[in-house]
Amino acid sequence: MADDKPLRKISEAFKDLATAVNSKTPDVEVESFSRACSLVSPLFGCLGIAFKFAEMDYVSKVNDLSEASKSIATLQALLDRDMASNCVRNAGSHSRNLLRVKRGLDMVRELFEQILIAEGNSLKDPASKAYAQVFAPHHGWAIRKVVAAGMYALPTKAQLLKKLNEEDSSARIQMQNYVVASAPVILYIDKLFHSRNLGVDW
């Protein structure tokens, strides 16, 4: 990792987003959202082959949102624009990409929660549980099979922390911070979709 403390940067960026979401007039800027999400990208890379598909998919979708931020101010405006163009569910639409990125954030949140309660040095159980919870319902049999095989090639917890330049105690604090801060952000995005009768299971 080129970055000194990626976990700290992630948790701080999501604390800022959570503050925006919890304000009286919640309006999340596409730019600050995509910037925070881009900090998460290296995490998928650290998890190896099992999450290679997630990394590639997530990075391309975050890049799209980053590009969109040049002409669209907020996440609300982004959804409304796609609705006006009747392209919300189209492959490659900003709304569809936002939903995929949200899923990636949820996956990391679930993974961190599982790591925080897991005993021992293996990430196989936490990663498998997080995958089953967030991604598996949306993946076909072929991808699920590839991921299951890749779980045997996951780094150990110690190897992951080394890549992230963290001690166990500091990593736990930052992971917990992200779990807490990302929850309202994920919920906010879900509400944006539900309030427009778009649903989130597609």
Would you call 29 helix, strand, or coil by DSSP? strand
pLDDT in tens, the chain (202 residues): 445 889 999 999 999 999 999 998 888 999 999 999 999 999 998 998 888 888 999 999 999 999 999 999 999 999 999 999 999 999 999 999 999 999 999 999 999 999 999 999 999 999 999 999 999 999 999 989 989 999 999 999 999 999 999 999 999 999 999 999 999 999 999 999 999 999 999 9
Check residue 3 and give its pLDDT: 52
Handedness of CA 15, 63, 142, 51 (dihedral sign): negative
Check residue 4 and give its pLDDT: 81
Domain ranges of the chain: 6-193
Q: Which residue has the tokens 């299971």?
A: 201
6-193: CATH, from 2.130.10.10, 3.40.50.300, 1.10.3520.10, 3.40.50.2300: 1.10.3520.10
Nearest to 198 by CA among 64, 61, 98: 98
**Region of 119 on the Ramachandran plot (φ > 0 left; ψ -120 to 50 alpha; else beta):** beta
